[in-house]
């Protein structure tokens, strides 16, 4: 097979071996960004639309404009390019990007660098040109929307387990719970928290996936997260209220529901976008920013009369006089004697931060597998 290396300025891009060198020094790009650079270089001189980049680089996944912007920003950084005075990648506002440097293909050890890439060669045929006879990539065995929802669901479940371990351990050793059994209290809290967290993560994942497909840009992600949280939170509150009414004849008021779910979902999506989305070159950024955003909303909700897990447990205990929930154990976490408003604010911040951080961490990890 003829040499397939693509040469521009003092860079050598080898799509077959997936390497990028500058003067013999290797330059690191993550897999998606490398694919984007190959497509741009291969189409040098021609406009590569944003949708084509989404389709060919992020095939099977729906991502926001912020992810593409971050991708181009990181490629420019590695190439030493300047968006204001570009040598390599020029932005065509509202449409896409054009690679403007001269490109040659062939053996870089020869003085004759080889012929330029012929016109009419599209990025979609890149694999066949560089590796003729290679079988096409196997299609995903699962729908893209399902894969996009499973990672947040797993992250939500992990957040629930962490919260269940923390709250369950404290409640299990409270004096009023001793007649039930320490292990039983811990298992109940673990199961409840994990189920709530998984349902919340799944709802947000499905909502964000649908929003990105129905509405272009960041608005789709934000709207999808808010609607997903609203629907899952509302359904969970309805089921919980009906269950309490069926079993004991009345339901507690003010437990967490749709509005809280929508607020947490919107905060999580905002942090994700500010951090560069799940494909960010610095994967810790969306995780940290999502945790901060959801933690802030979690703290604000009790001040506005809303509730998350700790506040909901407080309302259950207040509704049923015979409840064995001794929530003073939770207040101990922040040095308060009772689970009043200050404790609920602090615990709401903790719950929100754990949920947002775990969900986005799972999303980031899932996108990189």
* 117 pLDDT more than 50: no
Query: In whole angstroms, how large is the CA radius of gyration of the chain?
Result: 26
**Between helices 258-274 and 341-368, what is the axis angle to 10°?**
50
Rounded-to-integer distance, Cα 156 and Cα 144, Å? 19
Residue with tokens 């009043």: 340
* 60 pLDDT more than 70: no
Q: What is the pLDDT of residue 281?
A: 67
* 120 pLDDT more than 60: no
Considering only 118-132, 142-156, 248-262, which range has the smallest mean pLDDT? 118-132
* Residue with the larger pLDDT of the pair 319 and 116: 319
By C-alpha distance, which of 73, 70, 65, 32 is closest to 49? 65
* 127 pLDDT more than 50: no
Walk me through the domains of the chain, giving residue ranges and CATH numbers.
6-130 (1.10.10.10), 144-368 (no CATH)
pLDDT digits (tens, 9 = 90+) for 229-286: 999 999 988 988 888 788 777 888 888 899 999 999 999 999 998 887 777 667 888 9
Q: Percent of the chain, pLDDT > 70?
A: 81
Rounded-to-integer distance, Cα 155 and Cα 177, Å? 30
291 close to 274: Cβ distance less than 8 angstroms: no
Q: What is the pLDDT of residue 182?
A: 61
Q: How many residues does the chain have?
A: 369
Q: What is the pLDDT of residue 318?
A: 79
Rounded-to-integer distance, Cα 163 and Cα 184, Å? 16
pLDDT digits (tens, 9 = 90+) for 97-114: 999 998 887 654 433 333
Please state the rounded mean pLDDT for residues 71-96.
89
E-state strands within 96-155 = 96-99, 104-105
* Residue with the larger pLDDT of the pair 77 and 213: 77
- H or E element that contains 128: helix 126-130
* 180 pLDDT more than 70: no
* 195 pLDDT more than 90: yes
Q: What's the chain's average pLDDT? A: 81
Rounded-to-integer distance, Cα 154 and Cα 78, Å? 34
pLDDT digits (tens, 9 = 90+) for 282-339: 788 899 999 999 999 999 999 999 999 888 888 887 787 766 666 777 777 777 878 8
Question: Which whole-number Å values give the CA distances from 140 to 56, 58, 60, 269, 332, in the listed order?
Answer: 14, 13, 8, 26, 49
Q: How many CB atoms lie within 10 A of CB 243?
A: 11
DSSP 161-202: HHHHHHHHHHHHTSGGGTTT-HHHHHHHHHHHHHHHHHHHHH
Rounded-to-integer distance, Cα 351 and Cα 302, Å? 12
């Amino acid at each position: 097979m003829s040499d397939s290396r693509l040469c521009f300025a003092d860079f050598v891009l080898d799509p077959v071996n997936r390497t990028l060198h500058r003067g013999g020094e290797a330059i690191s790009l993550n897999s998606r960004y490398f694919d984007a650079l190959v497509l741009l270089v291969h189409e040098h001189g021609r406009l590569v639309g944003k949708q084509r980049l989404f389709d060919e680089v992020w095939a099977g996944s729906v991502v926001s404009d912020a992810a593409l912007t971050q991708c181009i920003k990181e490629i420019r950084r590695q190439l030493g390019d300047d968006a204001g005075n570009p040598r390599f990648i020029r932005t065509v506002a509202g449409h896409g990007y054009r690679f403007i440097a001269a490109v040659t293909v062939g053996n870089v050890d020869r003085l004759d660098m080889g012929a330029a890439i012929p016109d009419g060669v599209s990025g979609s045929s890149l694999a066949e040109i560089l590796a003729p006879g290679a079988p096409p990539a196997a299609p995903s065995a699962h729908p893209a929307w399902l894969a996009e929802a499973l990672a947040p669901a797993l992250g939500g479940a992990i957040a629930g387990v962490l919260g269940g371990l923390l709250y369950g351990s404290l409640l299990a050793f409270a004096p009023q719970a001793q007649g039930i059994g320490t292990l039983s209290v811990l298992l109940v809290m673990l199961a409840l928290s994990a189920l709530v967290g998984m349902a919340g993560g799944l709802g947000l994942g499905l909502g964000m996936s649908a929003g990105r497909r129905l509405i272009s840009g960041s608005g789709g992600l934000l709207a999808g997260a808010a609607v997903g949280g609203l629907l899952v939170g509302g359904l969970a509150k309805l089921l919980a209220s009906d269950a309490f009414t069926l079993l004991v004849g009345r339901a507690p008021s003010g437990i967490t529901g749709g509005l809280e779910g929508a607020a947490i979902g919107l905060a999580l999506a905002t942090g994700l976008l500010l951090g560069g989305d799940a494909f960010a070159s610095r994967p810790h950024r969306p995780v940290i920013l999502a945790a901060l955003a959801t933690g802030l909303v979690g703290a604000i909700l009790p001040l506005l009369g809303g509730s998350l897990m700790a506040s909901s447990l407080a309302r259950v205990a207040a509704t049923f006089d015979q409840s064995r929930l001794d929530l003073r154990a939770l207040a101990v976490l922040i040095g308060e004697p009772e689970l009043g408003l200050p404790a609920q604010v602090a615990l709401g911040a903790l719950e929100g931060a754990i949920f947002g951080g775990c969900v986005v961490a799972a999303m980031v990890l899932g996108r990189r597998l």
